[in-house]
Amino acid sequence: MIELFSYQFIQHAFIAGLLVAVLCAITGIGVVSRNMSLLGDSLSHLSFGAAAVAVFSHLPFLVLTVPAALFGAIFITKFSKKNNNSSDALVAAISTAGISVGVLVASFTRNVTIDIQSFLFGSILTVEATDLIALSVLFIFVSVGFFVYKKEIFSVLFDAEQAKISGINVNVYQIVISLVTGLVVALSMKIVGALLMSALLVLPAFSAMRLANGFSRSVILSSTFSLFSVTVGMFISFSTNSPTGPVIALCASFIFIVALISSRE
């Protein structure tokens, strides 16, 4: 098992997995606490549609998936605010449209079925150096941003009215949180896949928020659960020669069920 790590593509996969785990854990707190758990699903399905168009047009997939996810994030956040958080119909519509565009475009594209499948279910072993650089830059941006603006982020998520009174621009923070979520989804999709994105974005954060006592602890616990799911998932996947994304998703689901049973609230 250890000798696997002598291969560069395994090293890339492992580093990418850990970066995605922490990114999803931190942004997941912002997603779950705003009752927008399906935001991740919707953005990843939209990104899948964009990725299919990118493959069809022979463009680098990030050129289309990043703008699509950012646009979706702003659109859903704005719509949700206007309609008093009743955005589930819009989220469902965007999810369906994204998947439909992806499958439709894929049907017109010859010899790229494997590419499309890797976007749907993840393909951690195809992570390239450019993916790692993009994930590392986003990881630094999110970690430093969270550390510097922790007070403001807590205030906006916990009590937006109080945040507004004290002069915090609540709208800007909410849009930035959604935009960062869009970026995380667009960059992580290759690792865990569009269909399984919610597993890392929602389950560790939700489990941590059930069990933790305190905001900072919930972020640390969410990161721990996410790192555990990715690490154990990858080891099981490599040793059993099974697809990585679904195994990671099952590990996160297992933690989620344990958290649900063990938390008394």
Question: Which residue from 111, 147, 214, 240 is in contact with another protein, where contact means CB under 8 A?
Answer: 214
Nearest distance from C-beta of residue 263 to another protein, angstroms = 10
Residue number with CB closer to another protein (51 or 211): 211
Question: Which residue from 144, 158, 220, 239 is in contact with another protein, where contact means CB under 8 A?
Answer: 158
Task: Give the CA distances from residue 231 to residues 14, 15, 77, 158, 227, in Å, rounded to whole numbers and listed in that order.
Answer: 8, 10, 32, 31, 6
Residue number with CB closer to another protein (94 or 209): 209
Nearest distance from C-beta of residue 39 to another protein, angstroms = 14
List the alpha helices (DSSP H) in the chain.
8-33, 38-56, 61-82, 88-108, 113-121, 129-148, 150-158, 160-165, 170-192, 197-201, 203-211, 215-240, 244-262
Asked if 212 interacts with another protein (CB under 8 A), we say: yes
Dihedral-angle region of residue 35 (phi above 0 means left; psi in -120 to 50 means alpha; beta otherwise):
left
Asked if 159 interacts with another protein (CB under 8 A), we say: yes
Residue number with CB closer to another protein (45 or 210): 210
- Which residues in 100-129 contact another protein (CB under 8 A)? none
Asked if 54 interacts with another protein (CB under 8 A), we say: no
Q: Which of 60, 196, 65 is nearest to 128 (CA)?
A: 60
